[in-house]
């Protein structure tokens, strides 16, 4: 076995170690590289910025703990922005296992900004059905959620005054970790009930949402931790996402190095085989 | 009996499918009211379906424990996890002074159920997926080779996007940010759009076949 | 610091480390954490479904508002459970027939509208635009997604990828060229997705490491460090046992 | 039905870029004010129409006044060069006025309330600086409608596509229909051949889905083909499962394949086996199998989630030939990079239809091909027409383009 071959078949646990170190070091010793804001993220930010005080903003946190590191910073940044603009905030989730997380995010952000539950914001919790849930909300919000997460009858909440269906909501943002999320909100919601829709999502599903972004079906897209970091930069409150970007930089560059190394070794093997007349692998 | 077992479900599917497809084109309040009512029902029924999904898990692990198959102790842990969580979900919170009833927090006080959620479920699920970070790196190192023109293209696109998405990459190669934007907005969007159109045609064809009784796999099992 | 917070930190750290041991090899600690994870998430779902569906959507509206029409979905839901009784298992088909029927019906026009018409509408763009002076012109700014050049590239991409997924004609001649172009587009999109996903997965790792770093603090009794030692010790011990008694199978 | 036709005729007969509506710059109230119940809606909406005027400019503003008998209040105000019929996103077949007239829709919601069956008086005023003139109010009654004519193109497409799919299925039942060769299937044979040479087993996974998912069905069909080859070569086959029902089905299929290959004696009941339903224990177990038994070929067919990379990366590390086929597009990049051959998306269904020769599958595939061909033609023709529209500054191409717009 040549050197290149041995390097290509190196124990993967060594690579695991490299990645572990590249993540850990920047977290312990942050650098703080500047972050450029993309038009996709600006789309969501500017729309919230343009909403007059008292407008209704619905944040659907459609993710579970597996995507917490990516989507929680987005949720926190969006809520801070919405609360600062004095919008009426409705929180909810389409993912049952995300309920606890969503509750925590909303109540913490509200506490931080001095907002009152039931008056400035409400957390509706989870309800089953995805598509049928969104349609029911579009027809009659109070049928879909007779009571909120804290068992308060929704009809009596001050924050929901004058809101009957999704048609009365000014802006919906879905933070999605999968198909029950932005797509569902568009197909079963915006398509018919005509609220403006924005999205935030994990890096895994972000590329798949660009057709919807281009056609204006969503007016902005916050993609992954980078998107969250951009949003934090836009509202001038740096948080977990910005802090994580240094580690992202390090691991990304490490992976790029690995890819290049892999190809160098691969080419070495190919050329040496080509010379010795062996069949190509 | 044969009618009840075989034709009736097909008839129900047909009627429900046609009525709710047609509903889309009928804006009258009567039709909207029907939609509200039935989607609300569907919401409740999908709750039952969720329970149905987890029960097979109960069954499989019960068998494992009964037969003392290898690793049955793990099945016991699984059962412990289920029952413990349910018990916590319906326990009484003395600090909050009321029943928990599936609430993670009551007036800001974390319940036992909330504790299980944030200190067990969140780290467990989060770490499960975090493992993938290591594997993606190892896959990049060991499989990401420019074996052909196609593979080389994939590789270059991946590297550019990786550069363009992180501040350090943009610093090292300033053009990568703009190129990434272009790849995502134009090339990627084109492909995703074509795939979306293809998948949607497939989904519509499947739905039509279901409504007209040509596709019956959803009725479960081939045995009549 | 309250006792439950401290305990929570230790439990969370321990479970995180147990899962990470999978990177070394499959082992009992990983299996334990893994099964606990499945158990807890199933338990959680059951509690939430009960609280939301049975209590909030069914019981309360029926009893408090007298909405007895909800007996219908309750009945259909019960039919689903008939699956467990072989004699009447066929009843569950009625429930499935209803759900699948309504679901398919709802989906058809909405898919056509959002994923076909809307996508076609946005792809069909003029390959010329009006200049500020009034005459037609061709804009070729690559950075503007709405420029004519990008509209053309997008059109070529959509068309060629659609060609690749044609199955009833042989890929020869011009079709072959189109399909080959399609595969090049596909590869670029996959590469972009791979690159983007790296960020997603790394974020998860960063999230877990942030917690581990926090719990390594003396306030939490340095949970991370102690548990890390304990985990490594267990791994070594179980590794030694495995060498003595190689596992039979499974 | 006659109205759309009439509109079409009008569109063709009259030039679309209308003459300047009177060259007079005099400040007259809006002309030809009409107020009608908004067609094709669920009620609670009125549509206000009035002629375009010579003074339409950004600095001039229109005001919509709404009164329900007692008082009259302003409900909307906008620049005079906006809200034309052509901006309304109504297709030509439901337009109620010429494209250059003004149109404004009043709809209940967001602070405005209109009741069905109640007459309302609507007036339009025009404001320029300190000047303000108002047209005489017109009465109308909002009412709900039974059909949304705007969406008839959607319905038409559903019917058309349905007819094509069912037609193709019927055709497939009567005669053989052509399907191109799927290159991935040759790779399957090659991989099996290599496993036989090496005397190592073959690992086949059917994915995470249950039997109701098309990808799982396709995976089961392809398993039949693989099993047949494997039986002929008498190679070991390992099929670990995540769903008990899928396992039962696959067991039957495997048995049948061995029979067809004339080797029922070498069929082993336990080549299909169940591991567990949950994602990561299953993955850990399969990874274990790969590391211990070192299969020569790994097949990943069906739908996959995050576990895909854990499986294929481990498989690649053992040096196995890997062939994947999935419609889970979010996992495709990982399959493509770590596997030797990947059936992408619909190719998986096509491969299964190609192998099974079942008329319903073949017909559906053919029907979808027709659908794609139709969309290709629309894309090409549409782009051409849209470009012509810009080059010659005409609205005429809209007659075709409107048919392929998503309108409400």
Flag if C117 and D406 touch (Cβ within 8 Å): yes
Over its length of 250 residues, how does chain C's per-residue pLDDT go in tens digits?
Answer: 788 899 999 999 999 999 999 888 888 899 899 899 989 988 998 999 999 999 999 999 999 888 899 999 999 999 888 878 888 888 888 888 998 899 999 999 999 999 999 999 999 999 988 887 778 888 888 888 889 999 999 999 999 999 999 998 888 889 999 999 999 999 999 999 999 999 899 999 999 999 999 999 999 999 999 999 999 999 998 888 877 765 443 3
* Strand D321-326 versus strand D297-301 pairing type: parallel
Return contacts of C83-91, CB within 8 angstroms, 24+ apart: C83/B52, C83/B220, C84/B55, C90/B4, C90/B5
When pLDDT is averaged across residues D271-289 and rounded to a whole number, the result is 85
Nearest to C198 by CA among A234, A5, B137: B137
What gap in Å lies between CA A117 and CA A121, rounded to an integer? 5
Residues A212, A186: contact at Cβ < 8 Å?
yes
Q: Are residues A25 and A114 in the same domain?
A: no
Residues C207, C182: contact at Cβ < 8 Å?
no
Residue of B nearest to C144 (CA): B182
- 3-class state of residue C120 by DSSP: helix
Residue C81: C-alpha distances to residues A124, B51, C42, C54, C93 (Å): 28, 9, 18, 15, 10
Distance (Å) from the alpha carbon of B135 to chain D's nearest alpha carbon = 6
Nearest to B126 among C116, C195, C204 (CB): C204
Q: Are residues A230 and A265 in the same domain?
A: no
Flag if D316 and B142 touch (Cβ within 8 Å): yes
Any domain includes A281: no
The alpha carbon torsion through C145, C147, C149, C150 (nearest 10 deg) reads 20
Give me the helices (H) in A9-144, please: 12-28, 39-50, 68-84, 99-112, 131-139, 141-144
pLDDT(D226) > 90:
yes
When pLDDT is averaged across residues D317-346 and rounded to a whole number, the result is 91
Any domain includes A51: yes
Any domain includes A258: yes
Any domain includes A34: no
If 0-12 CB within 10 Å is exposed, 13-18 middle and 19+ buried, where does residue D53 land? buried
**Residues of chain D contacting C38 with CB distance shorter than 8 Å:** 278, 281
Residues A223, A241: contact at Cβ < 8 Å?
no
Q: Which one of C22, C95, C97 makes the best mutation probe of the B interface by having the most chain B beta carbons within 10 Å?
A: C97
Nearest to B197 among D277, D313, D375 (CB): D375
**Residues of chain A contacting D330 with CB distance shorter than 8 Å:** 204-205, 208
Q: In what order do the strands lie in the sheet with D341-344?
A: D272-274, D237-241, D202-205, D297-301, D321-326, D341-344
- Which pLDDT score, from 0 to 100, does residue D5 have? 53
Q: Are residues A189 and A151 in the same domain?
A: yes
Q: Are residues A12 and A71 in the same domain?
A: no
- Which pLDDT score, from 0 to 100, does residue C112 have? 95
Residues in chain A: 281
Any domain includes A196: yes
What gap in Å lies between CA C71 and CA D289, rounded to an integer? 49
Q: Are residues A132 and A250 in the same domain?
A: no
Distance (Å) from the alpha carbon of C189 to chain D's nearest alpha carbon = 8
pLDDT(B204) > 90:
yes
- Which pLDDT score, from 0 to 100, does residue A56 have? 96
**Unique residue bearing structure tokens 């209803």:** C98
CA angle D252, D258, D261 (to 5 degrees): 140
Flag if C167 and D153 touch (Cβ within 8 Å): no
- Element of type H or E holding A187: none
Flag if D165 and B205 touch (Cβ within 8 Å): yes
- Which pLDDT score, from 0 to 100, does residue D6 have? 53
CA atoms in the 13 A half-sphere facing the CB of B167 = 21
The more confident residue out of C156 and D330 is: C156
What gap in Å lies between CA C111 and CA A72, rounded to an integer? 30
If 0-12 CB within 10 Å is exposed, 13-18 middle and 19+ buried, where does residue B213 land? middle
All chains having 3 or more CB pairs closer than 8 angstroms to chain C: A, B, D
DSSP state of A200: E
pLDDT less than 50: residues of chain A: 276-281
CA atoms in the 13 A half-sphere facing the CB of A79 = 33
The three state secondary structure string of D74-139 is EEEEEECCCCEHHHCCCCHHHCCCCCCCEEEEEECECCECCCCCCCEEEEEEEEECCEEEECCCEE
Flag if B45 and C73 touch (Cβ within 8 Å): yes
Residues C228, C14: contact at Cβ < 8 Å?
no
Residue D3: C-alpha distances to residues D6, D32, D100, D109, D145 (Å): 5, 20, 19, 29, 16
pLDDT tens readout for residues D23-48: 445 678 898 999 999 999 988 899 99
| Confidence band, pLDDT 50/70/90 cuts, at residue D341 | very high
Q: Are residues A62 and A139 in the same domain?
A: yes
Residue-wise DSSP of D222-275:
HHHHHHHHHHHHT--EEEEES-HHHHHHHHHHHHHHHHHTT-GGG--GGGEEE-
For the beta carbon of residue D61, count every other beta carbon within 10 angstroms: 16
Flag if B208 and D162 touch (Cβ within 8 Å): yes
- Which pLDDT score, from 0 to 100, does residue C194 have? 93
Structural domains for chain D = 2-147 (2.60.40.10), 180-356 (3.40.50.1220)
Count of helix runs (H) and strand runs (E) in chain C: 9, 2
Residues D49, D96: contact at Cβ < 8 Å?
yes
Out of A161-170, B3-12, B186-195, D336-345, least confident range: B3-12
Residue of B nearest to C121 (CA): B193
What gap in Å lies between CA B173 and CA B168, rounded to an integer? 9
What gap in Å lies between CA A161 and CA A142, rounded to an integer? 12
CA atoms in the 13 A half-sphere facing the CB of D199 = 0
- Which pLDDT score, from 0 to 100, does residue B145 have? 84
What gap in Å lies between CA A89 and CA A148, rounded to an integer? 13
Rg (CA), chain B: 26
pLDDT tens readout for residues B146-170: 888 899 999 999 999 999 999 999 9
Q: Which one of D314, D338, D383 makes the best mutation probe of the B interface by having the most chain B beta carbons within 10 Å?
A: D338
Nearest to B132 among D147, D211, D309 (CB): D309
What gap in Å lies between CA D17 and CA D100, rounded to an integer? 8
Rg (CA), chain D: 32
Nearest to C195 by CA among D247, D340, B158, A95: B158
Domain range spanning residue A269?
3-29+245-276
Q: Which two tokens stand for residue D214?
A: 């098309």
- Which pLDDT score, from 0 to 100, does residue B223 have? 36
Residues C58, C70: contact at Cβ < 8 Å?
yes
For the beta carbon of residue D129, count every other beta carbon within 10 angstroms: 8
**Contact partners, residue D146, CB within 8 Å, separation at least 6:** B26, B27, B28
Nearest to C216 by CA among C3, C4, C2, C16: C16
When pLDDT is averaged across residues D88-104 and rounded to a whole number, the result is 88
Q: Are residues A200 and A130 in the same domain?
A: yes
Q: Provide the number of structural domains found in chain A.
A: 2
Name the range with the highest mean pLDDT among B63-77, C181-195, D354-368.
C181-195
**Contact partners, residue D281, CB within 8 Å, separation at least 6:** C31, C34, C35, C38, D275
Residues D390, C128: contact at Cβ < 8 Å?
yes
Any domain includes A134: yes
- 3-class state of residue D194 by DSSP: helix
Distance (Å) from the alpha carbon of A143 to chain C's nearest alpha carbon = 8
Residue of B nearest to A270 (CA): B147
- Which pLDDT score, from 0 to 100, does residue D22 have? 44
Q: Give residue D78's Cα distance to chain centre.
A: 35
Cα-Cα end-to-end distance for chain C: 44
Nearest to D329 among B151, B195, B212 (CB): B195
Q: Are residues A146 and A272 in the same domain?
A: no
What gap in Å lies between CA D308 and CA D325, rounded to an integer? 11
Q: Are residues A272 and A233 in the same domain?
A: no
**Contact partners, residue B117, CB within 8 Å, separation at least 6:** A100, A101, B104, C44
Whichever domain contains A233, its CATH number is: 3.40.50.620
Q: Are residues A159 and A51 in the same domain?
A: yes
Give me the helices (H) in D294-358, please: 307-317, 332-338, 346-356
What gap in Å lies between CA B85 and CA B194, rounded to an integer? 44
Flag if B196 and A12 touch (Cβ within 8 Å): no
Residue B63: C-alpha distances to residues B71, B189, D126, D274 (Å): 12, 48, 79, 13
pLDDT(B23) > 70:
yes
Distance (Å) from the alpha carbon of D132 to chain C's nearest alpha carbon = 32
- Element of type H or E holding B181: helix B175-182
Residues D379, C124: contact at Cβ < 8 Å?
yes
Q: Are residues A159 and A271 in the same domain?
A: no
Q: Are residues A9 and A146 in the same domain?
A: no
Q: Which two tokens stand for residue A119?
A: 């008056």
Rg (CA), chain C: 29
What gap in Å lies between CA A221 and CA A197, rounded to an integer? 10
Residues A117, A110: contact at Cβ < 8 Å?
yes
């Amino acid at each position: 076995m040549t050197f290149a071959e041995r390097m290509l078949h190196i124990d993967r646990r060594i690579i695991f170690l490299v990645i572990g170190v590249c993540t850990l070091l920047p977290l312990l010793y942050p650098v703080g590289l500047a972050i450029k804001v993309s038009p996709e993220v600006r789309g969501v930010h500017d729309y919230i910025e343009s909403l007059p005080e008292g407008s209704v903003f619905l944040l659907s946190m459609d993710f579970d703990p597996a995507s917490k590191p990516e989507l929680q910073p987005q949720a926190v940044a969006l809520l801070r922005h919405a609360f600062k603009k004095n919008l009426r905030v409705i929180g909810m989730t389409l993912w049952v296992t995300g309920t606890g997380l969503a509750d925590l995010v909303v109540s913490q952000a509200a506490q931080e900004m001095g907002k009152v539950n039931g008056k400035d914001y409400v957390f509706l919790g989870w309800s089953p059905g995805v598509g049928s849930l969104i349609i029911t909300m579009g027809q009659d919000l109070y049928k879909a959620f007779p009571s909120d997460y804290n068992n308060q009858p929704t009809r009596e909440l001050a924050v929901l005054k004058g809101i009957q269906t999704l048609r009365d909501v000014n802006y919906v943002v879905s933070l999605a970790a999968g198909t029950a999320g932005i797509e569902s909100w568009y197909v079963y919601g915006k398509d018919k009930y005509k609220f403006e829709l924005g999205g935030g999502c994990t890096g895994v599903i972000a590329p798949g949402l660009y057709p919807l972004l281009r056609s204006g079906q969503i007016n902005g897209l916050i993609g992954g931790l980078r998107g969250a970091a951009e949003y934090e930069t836009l509202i001038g409150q740096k948080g977990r996402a910005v802090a994580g970007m240094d580690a992202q930089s390090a691991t990304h560059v490490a992976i790029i190095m690995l890819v290049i190394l892999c190809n160098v070794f691969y080419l070495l093997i190919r050329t040496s085989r080509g010379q010795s007349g062996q069949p190509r692998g | 009996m044969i009618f009840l077992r075989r034709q009736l479900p097909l008839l129900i599917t047909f009627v429900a499918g046609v009525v709710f497809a047609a509903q889309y084109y009928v804006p009258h309040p009567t039709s909207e009211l029907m939609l509200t009512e039935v989607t609300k029902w569907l919401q409740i029924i999908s709750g039952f379906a969720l329970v149905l999904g987890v029960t097979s898990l109960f069954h499989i692990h019960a068998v494992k424990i009964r037969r003392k198959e290898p690793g049955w102790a793990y099945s016991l842990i699984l059962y412990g996890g289920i029952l413990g969580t349910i018990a916590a979900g319906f326990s009484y919170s003395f600090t909050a002074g009321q029943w928990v009833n599936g609430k993670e927090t009551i007036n800001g006080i974390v319940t036992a159920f909330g504790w299980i959620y944030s200190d067990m479920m969140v780290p467990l699920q989060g770490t499960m997926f975090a493992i993938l970070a290591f594997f993606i790196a190892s896959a990049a190192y060991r499989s990401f080779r420019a074996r052909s023109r196609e593979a080389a293209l994939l590789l270059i696109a991946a590297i550019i996007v990786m550069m363009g998405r992180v501040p350090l990459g943009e610093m090292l190669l300033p053009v990568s940010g703009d190129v990434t934007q272009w790849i995502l907005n134009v090339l990627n969007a084109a492909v995703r759009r074509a795939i979306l159109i293809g998948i949607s045609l497939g989904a519509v064809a499947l739905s039509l076949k279901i409504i007209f009784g040509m596709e019956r796999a959803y009725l479960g099992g081939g045995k009549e | 610091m309250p006792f439950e917070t401290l305990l929570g930190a230790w439990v969370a750290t321990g479970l995180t480390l147990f899962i990470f041991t999978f990177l070394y090899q499959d082992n009992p600690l990983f299996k334990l954490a893994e099964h606990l994870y499945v158990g807890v998430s199933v338990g959680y779902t059951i509690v939430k479904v009960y609280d939301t569906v049975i209590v909030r959507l069914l019981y309360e509206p029926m009893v408090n508002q007298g909405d007895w029409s909800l007996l219908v979905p309750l009945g259909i839901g019960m039919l689903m459970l008939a699956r467990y009784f072989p004699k009447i298992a066929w009843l569950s088909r009625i429930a499935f027939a209803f759900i699948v029927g309504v679901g398919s019906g709802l989906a058809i026009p909405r898919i056509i509208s959002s994923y076909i018409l809307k996508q076609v509408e946005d792809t069909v763009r003029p390959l010329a635009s009006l200049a500020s002076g009034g005459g037609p012109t061709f804009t070729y700014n690559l950075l503007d997604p709405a420029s004519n050049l990008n509209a053309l590239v997008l059109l070529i991409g959509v068309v060629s990828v659609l060609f690749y997924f044609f199955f009833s004609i042989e890929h020869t001649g011009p079709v072959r060229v189109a399909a080959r172009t399609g595969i090049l587009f596909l590869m670029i999109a996959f590469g972009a997705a791979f690159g983007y996903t790296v960020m997603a997965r790394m974020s998860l790792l960063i999230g877990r490491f942030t917690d581990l770093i926090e719990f390594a603090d003396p306030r939490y009794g340095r949970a991370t460090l102690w548990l890390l030692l304990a985990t490594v010790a267990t791994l070594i011990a179980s590794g030694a046992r495995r060498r003595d008694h190689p596992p039979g199978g499974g | 039905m006659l109205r759309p036709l009439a509109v079409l005729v009008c569109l063709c007969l009259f030039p679309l870029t209308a003459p300047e509506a009177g060259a007079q710059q005099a400040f007259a109230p809006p002309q030809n004010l009409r107020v009608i119940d908004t067609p094709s809606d669920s009620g609670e909406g009125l549509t206000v129409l009035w002629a375009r005027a010579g003074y339409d400019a950004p600095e001039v503003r229109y005001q919509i006044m709404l009164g329900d008998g007692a008082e009259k209040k302003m409900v909307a105000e906008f620049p005079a060069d906006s809200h034309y019929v052509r901006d309304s996103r109504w297709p030509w077949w439901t337009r109620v006025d010429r494209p250059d007239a003004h149109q404004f829709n009043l709809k209940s919601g967001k602070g405005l309330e209109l009741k069905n069956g109640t007459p309302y008086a609507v007036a339009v005023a025009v404001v320029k600086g300190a000047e303000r003139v108002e047209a005489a109010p017109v009465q109308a009654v909002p009412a709900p409608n039974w059909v949304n004519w705007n969406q008839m193109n959607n319905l038409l497409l559903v019917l058309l596509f349905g007819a094509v799919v069912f037609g193709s299925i019927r055709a497939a039942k009567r005669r053989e229909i052509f399907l191109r060769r799927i290159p991935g299937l040759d790779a399957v044979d090659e991989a099996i051949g290599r496993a036989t040479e090496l005397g190592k087993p073959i690992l086949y996974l059917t994915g995470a889905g249950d039997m109701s998912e098309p990808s799982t069905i396709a995976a089961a069909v392809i398993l039949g083909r693989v099993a047949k080859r494997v039986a002929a070569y008498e190679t070991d086959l390992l099929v670990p499962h995540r769903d008990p029902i899928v396992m039962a089905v696959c067991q039957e299929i495997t048995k049948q394949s061995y029979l067809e290959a004339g080797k029922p004696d070498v069929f082993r009941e336990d080549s299909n086996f169940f591991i567990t339903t949950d994602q990561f224990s299953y993955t850990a177990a399969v990874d274990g199998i790969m590391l211990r038994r070192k299969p020569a070929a790994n097949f990943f067919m069906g739908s996959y989630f995050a576990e895909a990379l854990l499986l294929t990366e481990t498989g690649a590390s053992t040096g196995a030939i890997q062939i994947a086929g999935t419609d889970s597009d979010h996992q495709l990049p990982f399959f493509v990079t770590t596997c030797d051959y990947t059936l992408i998306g619909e190719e998986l269904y096509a491969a299964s239809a190609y192998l099974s020769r079942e008329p319903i599958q073949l017909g559906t595939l053919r029907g979808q091909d027709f659908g794609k061909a139709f969309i290709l033609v629309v894309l090409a023709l549409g782009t051409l027409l849209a470009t012509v529209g810009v080059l010659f500054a005409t609205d005429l191409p809209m007659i075709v383009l409107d048919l392929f717009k998503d309108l409400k």
